[in-house]
Chain A
């Protein structure tokens, strides 16, 4: 592009359908640039849920892959603090800020073969001072859920640009959010590529959530990880969201939502939120009867 200075803008970003839609719109806007210097204007962004740095990383990495230079600008102090504390802004020339309250699980980009490195990152940041009020059983189930999500993304997404992760603990609400986002094919295209089934984005997510469904070929069974995560989230009264292409699915105590966004997100995101004050026993139940 030539002419006017390249500029895109971003509004308030929370972990909800609107937040993901806004990131998808940003991705679409950035998609028109190649070899440009693009200002990303955050002046209308009054709040940014830190865990949403992972899908923002996906949006940015596609633009960087098109040889653009991105310049975040207009950040309000609160938003800059959030994104500097979790290291998102470090790569854009902003100074790091100390996480004095120990509530951040830093933003990190992984490659698909980094499963052990990712496990070490989780073991390090979900242990000890950062999250003192979680029971050991809850911490273990949460960690296992995130590992399942990462391995699933590594196995299925075919993301050459990486897998992005970030978490945030909200002590006032006793909530812990963690997000894993890949810049890969998306569920819909993966199902078509592997199985030849054409589905809309929302139906593709629904397909992936069904027990036993997997695009994996060969003799290794699949389709259990997401089921266990869903059981765990239901028990914990937490929330899980999946965004892939235009599909959006959410499951929480308020119910289940499956819909199609107007704009495609360039990858797949799974965001889970747990209630850290929950003291339920998280022993895995034996196979359910249904």
Chain B
């Protein structure tokens, strides 16, 4: 088992407001850096004031884009200091990410151009 490092979102983002994709990207980058250093990650949600899925999609969701398999993530990524509501939101973001990456092409192909003369 890899040694574990604790990453605090509060410290990475620099405050308690966790809403933007850019800030989520900072957290993602730190997690990936720890994985590259052969460390497991405990991600701390302590001291959060605002948290939304746009942030989680970038911070956590994109980990499911194929670079790491699910077994690896289960072994190497844990969450701490997280409320039940936030854990539920995180679960939704992870399920959405898995579905998104599994169906990315299909989503794009389902929609045909829909246009009529009323709007050019």
Contact = CB atoms under 8 A, between A and B. Distances in A.
A224 B114 contact: no
Contacts of B52: 144, 147-148, 151, 225
Contacts of A150: 19
B20 A115 contact: yes
A152 B20 CA distance: 9
Contacts of B65: 219, 221
Given A197-B113, A198-B113, A212-B100, A283 B50 contact: no
Interface string B87-114: 0110111011101110110011001011
A200 B20 contact: no
B116 interface: yes
Contact of A220 (B21, B51, B84, B103): B21
A212 B107 contact: yes
Contacts of A198: 113-115
Interface residues of A, number: 46
Given A199-B114, A199-B115, A200-B114, A116 B17 contact: yes
Interface string A56-79: 000000000000000000000000
B20 A151 contact: yes
A195 B108 contact: yes
Contact of B17 (A120, A219, A222): A120
Which 7 pairs, one residue from A and one from B, show the smallest C-beta to C-beta distance?
A221-B100, A284-B88, A203-B114, A287-B95, A221-B97, A119-B17, A224-B96
Interface of A: 115-116, 119-120, 122-123, 137, 140, 143-144, 147-148, 150-152, 154-155, 188, 195, 197-201, 203, 207, 210-213, 219-225, 228, 245-246, 260, 283-287
Interface of B: 15, 17, 19-21, 24-25, 49-55, 57-58, 61-62, 64-65, 84-85, 88-89, 91-93, 95-97, 99-101, 103-104, 107-108, 111, 113-116, 118-119
